[in-house]
Amino acid sequence: MFELFTILKDVILPVFILMALGYILHKKFHLDISTLAKLNIYFLVPGFIFVKLYNTQISWNLFSDIFLFFCLYVFMLFLISIVVGKMMGLDKGEKTAFSNSVMFYNSANYGVPVNDLVFKSDPFAMSIQVIVLTLQNIFLFSYGIFSLQSVSKGKLKAALGYFKMPVLYAMLAGILLNIFHVPIPSFIWVPSNYISDALISLALVTLGAQVAALKFKFGLLSVYMSLVIRLLVGPVIALAIIFIFKMDGMFAQALLISSAMPTAVNSAVIAQEYKNHPEFASQVVVLSTIVSAFTVSMIIYLARIIF
């Protein structure tokens, strides 16, 4: 019990303090959420991914193992969400919003700080988280947008929107320059590190501001079912995959903890953008973020015991 309290105090509380500051700042000054989101998506996250991937010892085995885990994990969540959605009698648009709330989790502005605090800035653990958040971003801005568009308009071109996102090119640049050992001049590397270092604090402040701006109400069964699957069933699925493929050590810990993150704020952002049940998406983001303070603490504790 003491160790669980320590995790809550040393890992989760710092995350929520920065989120609370973002929440307060937005309530007082009405921050421009769109500008903050753009700073994260187009500036901080690409810079962070580029620096971390360039600095990390990347192996094909590491990437392939994470990719396999990610695909199986998301696929299982998708199947479960479809079954539960049918059982609740949701229509097509509601099923899509429900599935997205379960599959898209906050691996960036929540997952990165948690990983950084849990593993004390260990580069190997962070490389795992960086690959996970990169895959999540690719998935969110391709399938996520496509699924929402297809509900009402069926515009397949929406899936190509991800190729306009700098995250993909930051990932490719970081990996390729790393693999071929290309030296980066200091006038590029120094500002790149400044950008990377700014991600965690500004991302959490942005998350707090986004939560403050969301409108929600309680009482929807689908919201509570989403919370159960995202925060409880998700880690169980992740643990099963880890055991089946005999993963262990820090690698297994990082994957398990990353699987426990709350619903991604960007899932609510794109739901609002494409007018597909934004109220539901907002409620899930707010409640899953709050409840995750306790569930993520438990998963961190279990990860340390099991692995």
Q: Which of these, 17, 2, 6, lies nearest to 201 by C-alpha position?
A: 17
Q: Mean per-residue pLDDT for 162-191?
A: 87
Q: Which tops the pLDDT comparison, 252 or 40?
A: 252
pTM flag (> 0.75): yes
Q: How many domains does the chain have?
A: 1
Lowest mean pLDDT among 152-161, 252-261, 284-293: 152-161
Residues in CB range of 285: below 8 A, 6 or more apart: 101, 210, 211, 214, 262, 263, 264, 265, 267, 268
Domain hosting 273: range is 2-306
Neighbouring C-beta atoms of residue 177, cutoff 10 Å:
15
User: What's the CATH code of the domain at 20?
Assistant: 1.20.1530
CB neighbour list of residue 73: distance below 8 Å, 6 or more residues apart: 234, 237, 238, 241, 259
Per-residue pLDDT, averaged over 231-260, amounts to 96
Q: What is the pLDDT of residue 216?
A: 62
Among 294, 120, 112, smallest CA distance to 201 is for 112
Residue bearing the bigger pLDDT, 42 or 124: 124
pLDDT in tens, 247-271: 999 999 999 999 999 998 777 766 6
Q: What is residue 277's predicted lDDT score, i.e. its pLDDT?
A: 76
The average confidence (pLDDT) of the chain is 85
Exposure string over 217-254, b if 16+ CB within 10 A, otherwise e: eeeeebbebbbebbbebbbebbbebbeeeebeeebbbb
